[in-house]
Amino acid sequence: MKRVGLLTSGGDCQALNAAMRGVVKSIVNASDQVEIYGFLEGYKGLIYGNYKMLQSSDFSGILTKGGTILGSSRTPFKLMREPDENGLDKVEAMKHNYYKLNLDCLVILGGNGTHKTANLLRTEGLNVVTLPKTIDNDLWGTDMTFGFQSAVNIATDAIDCIHTTAASHGRVFIVEVMGHKVGWLTLNAGIAGGADIILIPEIPYDIKKVVKAIETRHKRGSRFTILAVAEGAISKADAALSKKELKKKQEKNIYPSVSYQVAAEIQERSGLDVRVTVPGHTQRGGSPCPYDRVFASRLGSEAGKLIMKGEYGFMVGYKNREIVKVPLEDVAGKLKYVSPDATIIKEAKMLGISFGD
């Protein structure tokens, strides 16, 4: 009898259900002696013993369904070693519930913070296999994460829709794309949507150069300009500050996000009419795109194979167009940033896209 626990942690995204379906179908097709336990609301479910036994039928019809049938929550890694408000040791509680159900393995789907906790559980002796979920595509050890392509599609659609109104009114439009620390989503959506300026966290911008790029377009006869701005985009001036200085400055910031600050500065310096559009959580929602359905199913299937072989302590990743297993200790705590010298950045600049640098 194989007893497998499942949980989805952190921000939700498309194809979580597809990935879990892939895990369960591959295990059930390999053995008819399987018990599946789903922990509800991420690590909270594992901590407080909130789970339910699942049947194969629970994974039927969810391939195209967004979100997660198990629910999710954010449980910061930095608080995992701290007792909860009632003095409960979270790590010991997770271990207790794992052993209480006599689990052979815990399958964890999540992003960077989720993987840090997953690796912690591995060091505590639990059998863990993880799957790379995040719309940011920022997990170390994998070229792709599921949810990313679906989010790119949605962000690109937002930019596509802005094109017509921007052209009609001759305005500067900013589309704010998700991504606090890493700019893969903004970069790809910006290129796909034909943005003229792309601002990402890894390439601090100079507002003077942003305005110059806009004015150059106007001089060439373009009536509008579209900027794809990551929510974590940062100016060169702010990037030069210490963390303490930056935090103090941000506390006095009157703008709801960086996009509104950039908009105000462009309008003040150029006199042009600027509008901001924030697709927000729509980028996480809806049905997964075909790519993510296939990709998540493949990852899930490979995770099932690892479980049946008793190979634990790995993230199932994707490198050089092949599914691979990556040691969890090599993944946890690392982010995959966009290099300012990356080929895709150079190619984008050759297309005439400005990064404000």
Residues that are catalytic: 136
Which helix (DSSP H) or strand (DSSP E) does residue 53 occupy?
Answer: strand 51-54
Eight-state DSSP code of residue 288: P
Q: Which string of b and e fits 98-115 if b means at least 16 CB within 10 Å?
A: beebebbbbbbbbbbbbb
Residue 354 three-state SS: strand
Q: What is the dihedral of CA 106, 71, 76, 97, to 10 degrees?
A: -40
Sign of CA dihedral 132, 136, 137, 141: negative
Label the pairing between strands 128-132 and 314-319.
parallel
Q: Are 286 and 184 in contact (CB under 8 A)?
A: no
